[in-house]
A and B are shown apart, each in its own frame.
Chain A
Amino acid sequence: MDRMDRTDGYDALDGMAHGERPEYGERRGRPDRTGPALGTGRTDGAERTEGMDQPDRFERQLTRLMHQDRQPAAFENRHREALRAGVRARRRVRAARRAAGSVLAVAGLGLGLFLWPHGRTDDRPTAPHPRPMISPSPAPSTSPSPTPTPTPPLSPSAPPSSTSTDSPTPDDTWTTSAPPSRTETSATATQWPPSATAGSRDGSATPPATATVSATGEPPDEPTSAISPSG
């Protein structure tokens, strides 16, 4: 049986019908060559490659053998069933892959949206933290007052008169800050270490301090007596 005995009828890759097949020399693009026969020493693949023009006897026999031993194999029902089962299984696999891909895509999208910054964020640098009006330590660089004043050493038991004499320094500090309001006064009062000093300062320096004191709901007798030294 020769290779021309094939019954497949066409070669789809070549795009030619069976009878249109060219001969070996044409098909492989090589000139005719009468090579040595089998067993004459041509066992090296490199030799075969460089001088490969036309099939030698061994190659012809090999081609014949390959076409000769074809066994008739009918396409049986079990093959058809197995093929359909394979198609169904592959279809399921593809659907599962598609579903998994969709889930991953949705999850990735959701994660991206979750990590996306919400709303309008303030990227500007924050304002410096408010410094105390008078630092507890007499550091000249951080104190806004031109001359460090020994205000902290003042004890609550100090007489109001001495406080009123030292009042220019806190007064200068007060003018550099924001205008006093009721809340700020109370906030500032918390920053002053001794409450007695704050009270003396408020009472001696500015009238709004009096309003602050009155706003606390204390009896008007005591603030009046505290204001009286300045007035």
Chain B
Amino acid sequence: MEQTRAGEYDAFVAARWSVLFHLARLLTGGDRHRAEDLLQESLVKLWFVWAKVADEAPEAYVRKVLARAAARSARRRWWGERPVEVLPEVAAAGDMSATVAERSRLEAALAQLTPQQRAAVVLRYYQDLPDRQVAEALGCPVGTARSHAARGVARLRRLLADVIEPVG
């Protein structure tokens, strides 16, 4: 029984690792190491509830744990995020491809948001969740989740104005 459970868990993690890691990376504003830690922590929590959620929605559980941990990470010391006036990473012409440059700009812009805004934006625009489910994942009222997402997008508009071209 334990072997079966462990096998199912390993198969799930191996199959969903890439997607979940990308989500964790967006939620952490591009911090790869912290994304790994966050995902690791969430998957460890998943192991202890695997018997309950294996047949239902294990990925939703991991997503919720990830989003909540990322949203409250501002209160933890190891987070160490501090807002700056100028984006720390600017794509240099010639040393990166356009895709990598866009990714770096996006991650740097996401890092400028507050953890709550970033989590709301990522859940909404990457996970395509409606406001109600974003609020449920973040554990806050719908209006609060909507406000976080709206303010986050408004800030991203300013930060990514030169990356996302306006309509001509």
Contacts and interface: CB of A to CB of B under 8 A. Distances in A.
Contacts, number: 147
A66 B167 contact: no
B157 A86 contact: no
B153 interface: yes
A48 to B, nearest CB: 5
A33 interface: no
Interface in B74-110: 99-100, 102-103, 106-107
Interface in B26-47: 26, 36, 40-41, 43-45, 47
Contact of A12 (B59, B158, B161): B59
Contacts of B61: 12
B41 to A, nearest CB: 7
Interface of B, secondary structure class, is: helix
Interface residues of A, number: 51
A214 B22 CA distance: 110
Given A68-B103, A74-B17, A86-B40, A45 B164 contact: no
Interface residues of B, number: 60
B154 A38 contact: no
B44 A86 contact: yes
Contact of B13 (A28, A57, A83): A83
B18 A38 contact: no
A38 B167 CA distance: 7
Nearest to A29: B130
A34 to B, nearest CB: 11
Interface of A: 3, 6-8, 10-15, 21, 27-29, 37-40, 42-46, 48-49, 52, 57-59, 61-63, 65-75, 79-80, 82-83, 86-87, 90, 94
Q: Which 10 A-B pairs have CB atoms at the shortest separation, nearest pair first?
A: A69-B103, A12-B57, A37-B167, A13-B60, A45-B150, A75-B17, A39-B166, A12-B60, A45-B154, A45-B151
Interface of B: 10, 13-14, 16-19, 21-22, 26, 36, 40-41, 43-45, 47-48, 56-61, 63-64, 99-100, 102-103, 106-107, 121-122, 125-131, 133, 137, 146-147, 150-154, 156-158, 160-161, 163-167
